[in-house]
Structure 1
Amino acid sequence: MGRPNPNYKSNVLSDTIVGFVDGAAKLMFTGGLLAAVVGIAVLIWHVFGSGNADPQALAQALKYQDYFRQAALWGILAAGIGAAWLFWGEEVSGPILLIVGLALALSSWYLPLAIQGQGGELQGNAITYLSTAGYPAVLIGILMVLAAAIQATKIRLEQGAKAEQMKYGKGMKEEKDVRNQFLGKCWQLPYCRKFVRERCPIYHAKRTCWKERVGCMCEESVIKTAMENKVISKDMIAASKFIPKNTKLSPAAKAERCRQCVIYNEHQKHKYNLFLPITIMGIAASYIALRPVMADGIQSALRGVDGVYKTVTLNAVQTASDDSARATSIDGGAVPYNEIILFVLALVALAYAIKVLEFLIWKLKI
């Protein structure tokens, strides 16, 4: 009978503590993010949407405004702490948190310009509260960025020290023959080893391994040929006769083998880098070309919804107001509702277009 592991209980306890902290961090991140979004959204509405409110509504909003201040402040703090634990070590987590925090912290500078210095106590308080809510995110973001920079510097120094200690024998030097031609063939991409390439029939036949369904990363005979130093004709037609044929695997199995190949995935990466900017420019061009028609359609739909709302709420009589003086409205303002909705829809379309592209490139491996 083996001896019991004396560290078993401590390992179980450690895993339990880490699991508990992970759960608490997820709860803090999710709950804090939800509270922050609600608080910030209401405070932003206080800045831009309360200009034409009656005094009674303003007084009621002032009464409950502090609740949304606390939701924004403590929500950002909780979400920041949760994000710091969950995404520690991620390169972009710290900068993203820092950018969000700065956008809120500096709102006391640019929001008064957006409302042209007009506004009462409700708007002034909202701007101050938004600025204050950004401070926790700025602090946590700076700490995460500094920690990531220190860790990266430490790794670089350690690897640099090890690299300095590497010694090669007399007359020996490091071989540098890494190819990475954009959308190149298999033998023009990284991970194709020079020793194997010079004895590879696919290379001399100027073909690709993913079309032949055999290659140096998946077929034993290709490596065996290279190790035996067999002479392969450099003539394309003659070399093609030396390409091995695997009759033991089905075409589906060979295709799946290609999908898992590091060289083929490098080729897929090149295709993704090609089609990603095309997708972004396509969505942008569609937005520019279809913007007038779609904006008018959204505006008509908003007018219809607004008419139904006023009918249901017995508020059919419209009060005279200058839409051009408001920050936003259905029929005017600095940025009308339909333009905001159309821009958001364009962003959603872009996100789903990128998801479709990733599905085609990385899942279906087309």
Structure 2
Amino acid sequence: MSREESEEGGVYVPPVVFALANLTMTISFVVAGLGFAYLLYGIFAGLSGFSGWDAAKQQGMLGIIALAGKAMMIGLGIGSLCAAVIFWFEEVVGYVILISAGVLGLGIPFAFPMLGGEIASKGVANALGVFPLASIAPAIIGGILVVRDIFSKFGRAIQRRGSDADLSQVKLGASAQREQKPLRTSLLGKCWEGSYCRDWVRPHCPIYQRRDACWRQRRGCYCEQEIVSAAANKTQGGMQLEMAPSSQYNYANPSAPGSTAPPKVILNDSQKAERCRNCVIYNDHQSEKYKIVMPLAIVATVVLCALISPLMKQGIQGSFTLIEQTVAKVSFSSSSESTVTLTRPPSTVEWGLVGAFSLMIVSKVLQIVEWCVFVKKI
């Protein structure tokens, strides 16, 4: 994250802090990786003869396992915290940390019996018990980043709904000034009902005369010079206003010698659509569309999540059963029964997970709505 990005986020952190955080993160993850590798080797190979060792050696090995576990636990906790500081403005980091914590805490203990391992000694049991504990700190940090990302999307959506269209990238009519909107005949106004339609052009505009919208006809005053010229010629006293773009948007090659005007370009539908996407009127229309669609999308998604919440809860319960059945089928263990029995979370935790999944779904729906309205400009 650069200085500029941190300033955009409203908090400036000196570069030396980021350098220190990056160094600390690297060291922490290296320490955690060494502890992880040692414990992984132990449960799959090194601790196979633990039961036959004498008491002193067993006790010493349990101490080493505990030390390796602490190294992995502290390393992952500090490393994840530093990663959160460094990549605070990267929305994907929280999800990566959270998923990685889930894989670490659940994947290793479940993969061990699937690969034919048996918890035949206290050493193996202690080593396996470290992984869920080591995943707690990264899971909390990743969860905080995910919640921050979700609420950031909600805040951006509300802020964007309350603001006008961003016209910084508009090519057609970028310098146009807003005027008072006329009385509307529909919830989502047409081009001539917007604040960028000029009073002196409107009566002479073929789009207004048809009571249609310029983005449906793919032509209008901000992209075709003749509409403005015709309106100016019919207006008493003449009006001078640079509304339509320069000739490069409407005409092709220079005219032949002796010609009075360059030939008109015949644009195809995709070129006309691109012209609309770069027009001040259509971008203002998209902003108004978003103000209507965004709350409807939130309400519809929340209602849908509420309706399917019992199914989501059943899915959480069924996932535990599916994991147990998968372990029993693919395990190399000689026993025909599954050697792993998952502890079911209480009902309140399951409903909490349903609520978390619902928030994530709503945030992704808002992201899709923004993409459709402001990026693809559908």
TM above 0.5, yes or no, is no
Could you state the TM-score of these two structures normalised by the residue count of structure 1?
0.45
Structure with the larger RCO, 1 or 2 (CA within 8 Å, 6+ apart):
2
